[in-house]
Amino acid sequence: MGHLKMKATQQLHDLGQSLWLDNITRGLLTSGTLGRYIREFAVTGLTSNPTIFDHAIANGDFYDDAIRKKALAGKSGEALFFELALEDLIQAADLFRLIHDATGGVDGWVSLEVSPLLADDTAATIKAAAQLHARAQRPNLFIKIPGTGAGIQAIEETIFAGVPVNVTLLFSCEHYIAAAEAYMRGIERRIAAGLDPKVGSVASIFVSRWDVAVKDKVSDAFRNRLGIAIAMRTYKAYRDLLGSKRWQKLAASGARPQRLLWASTGTKDPAAPDVLYVEALAAPDTVNTMPEKTLLAFAEHGSVGKVLPADEGYAEAVLAEFTREGVDDETLAAELQREGTAAFAKSWNDLMYRIAEKSEALAMVRQVPVPNE
């Protein structure tokens, strides 16, 4: 069993796809579980987002001590949260540092999101990205910036400033191309300015949310097929871009590809296989960041079969059928991005409320005399 267990995750890794964990909690770090995933499941990176932190702080007391100390030191709100998040991500970054160094900076990354309340503010996003990265002082920390209209401009400037970026909340091939072009403009400007062209980046395409969005709008034959078709179309665009003259020129100057990352790869439909998106999206030179439940399911009973084709014929045929079913993917992509942005803002506000609530409750506890042990 142990051998089989290693196999599927190791096979994906050997194929050239990085397996990252889409989760972080202080418990995952202190219990040694993350270290075990690195050893046993070839996990080579990690991503976080406001929803993940909201759940982590809500569902355990791992943070209580730190929150109490920070609250008593006069910290609150966003400032207190970023201290907590940076403590976790610095510890995670250090666990992945050997991988980062061994792969010449291609792998071994962790990600921290700027406040989702800045989604429409280019200047504030650029400033926040620079500050967070400077505070962590870790070369393998990505700052997550959403690929919204305001975000795209912030991505170019942040890359130009030499800060590594995980572009989040991308849904369509068009969204991906906009992010890739922002990345290339940032690198081209660095080269023109005589700066090092090596600045890490990934572009995160959200997959399962497509299928959730259309599940009641299409017939059963079409269930859980849209996200994968959109991903295949995007993979083709990614391959074309890496083969383009514009990219070749940058690569010759020493730039590294912005890797395509599959996000939102946990199966949401209880009737579908729990490893659906992991198996369907096996592809070299990509990353799959998966929820803990999905990682464990794939390690236990997943298998690597067909590798994603760069040929878009199949994907385009499937997407044409969705168009006939009345799904306009361009409109839906914009809607999903708006919804995703709003959902992260909601998680952020919940998180701030929870931290305020815990700070207050924990500060009160201190006033109560402790009975003798």
Return the axis-axis angle of helices 149-160 and 173-192, rounded to nearest 10°: 30
pLDDT in the model for residue 5: 44
Length reported for the chain: 373
181 close to 146: Cβ distance less than 8 angstroms? no
Nearest to 308 by CA among 287, 286, 283: 283
Is the four-CA dihedral 24, 25, 26, 29 of positive or negative sign? Answer: negative
Nearest to 93 by CA among 126, 128, 131, 44: 44
DSSP 168-207: EEE-SHHHHHHHHHHHHHHHHHHHHTT------EEEEEE-
> Could you tell me how far CA 121 lies from the centroid of its own chain?
21
- Tell me the mean pLDDT in the region 63-77: 94
Q: Please indicate whether residue 365 or residue 369 has the higher confidence score (pLDDT).
A: 365
- Residues involved in catalysis: 144
pLDDT in the model for residue 309: 81
Compute the distance between CA of residue 242 and CA of residue 169 in angstroms, rounded to an integer.
22
| 46: β partners | 21, 110
Compute the distance between CA of residue 140 and CA of residue 145 in angstroms, rounded to an integer.
16
Read off the pLDDT of residues 129-184 as tens digits, 9 standing for 90 and up: 999 999 999 999 999 999 999 999 999 999 999 999 999 999 999 999 999 999 99
pLDDT in the model for residue 1: 47
Read off the pLDDT of residues 34-65 as tens digits, 9 standing for 90 and up: 999 999 999 999 999 999 999 999 988 899 99
DSSP 125-183: HHHHHHHHHHHHT-TTEEEEEE-SHHHHHHHHHHHHTT--EEEEEE-SHHHHHHHHHHH
Question: DSSP H helical segments within 193-328, as ranges?
Answer: 208-214, 226-242, 245-252, 276-280, 292-301, 313-324
Read off the pLDDT of residues 201-248 as tens digits, 9 standing for 90 and up: 999 999 999 999 999 999 899 999 999 999 999 999 999 999 999 999
pLDDT in the model for residue 372: 63
Compute the distance between CA of residue 77 and CA of residue 358 in angstroms, rounded to an integer.
11
* pTM listed for this prediction: 0.95
140 close to 97: Cβ distance less than 8 angstroms? yes
Compute the distance between CA of residue 157 and CA of residue 161 in angstroms, rounded to an integer.
6
* N- to C-terminal Cα separation, the chain: 47
**Burial classification of residue 204, based on how many CB atoms lie within 10 Å of its CB (0-12 exposed, 13-18 middle, 19 or more buried):** buried
Per mean pLDDT, which range of 2-6, 69-73, 234-238 is the poorest?
A: 2-6
- The full set of domains in the chain, from first to last, is 2-362 (3.20.20.70)
65 close to 73: Cβ distance less than 8 angstroms? no
pLDDT in the model for residue 7: 85
